[in-house]
Structure 1
């Protein structure tokens, strides 16, 4: 008998991730853990792919905190600060934290696809696409 202390563990295979989630031009988001896939109520997790030589559109994730782990490639995370564009260059093994409502984009200037794992503080796939970082 399941109760709040004895809930079943849910398993989502990497091959079973769904693209039926919020998307931004220039990247592909795949949903793994969400209310829709496993019944989570406070967490969303997935994987994002950015092809070589491309970048995503500018966007933010509403009131959710976002944590990113770089699996492969050398993605660059771009945001606005004090009227200037700030570029954070990363590599495999690095982590990025994106605060709520922070406009940003992912760029991949490298020759290989960039793959990152994303976790958000909401089970909803909040994606607000923007015309610019200053929108």
Structure 2
């Protein structure tokens, strides 16, 4: 018998991550935990890979809050603060928080893959690709 208090655990093995999720140019996003892979209702989790000397396209994740853990490499997270471009340089073990609707991109100036683990406050892998960090963003009404 299963009810809300007695649901089975889901085990997603590393080789079972799916690329069948929203993508952004310059990176590869892999989905692990989502509504479709694990039946989650409030969380999406996965990872992204950005190759050496590569930048992702500018994008945001809609209404979802995003938490990022840097697993390997030294990715740089870039966002706009008014007219200024802000660059957050990271190392393995660092965390980044991305609020809803904030346009950003990931850059990898290094010579090894940058891999980050991502958790979002949505069971969907929301990805909205943008032409620039300063593109108008439709937020909640």
TM-score over 0.5 for the pair:
yes
Structure 1 unmatched ranges of 5 or more: none
State the 1:11 CA deviation: 0.3
1:3 is aligned to: 3
Structure 2 unmatched ranges of 5 or more: 136-141
1:43 is aligned to: 43
2:138 is aligned to: none
Secondary structure of the 1:15 match is helix
CA RMSD of aligned residues (A): 0.5
Distance 1:39 1:4 in 2: 12
How many residues align? The count is: 135
1:53-132 matched pairs, under 5 angstroms: 53-132=53-132
1:21 is aligned to: 21
State the 1:132 CA deviation: 0.2
Task: Render the CA deviation track for 1:28-83: whole Å, top value 9, x for unaligned.
Answer: 00000000101111110001000000010000000100000000000000000021
State the 1:4 CA deviation: 1.2
Distance 2:87 2:47 in 1: 21
State the 1:5 CA deviation: 1.0
Distance 2:58 2:3 in 1: 42
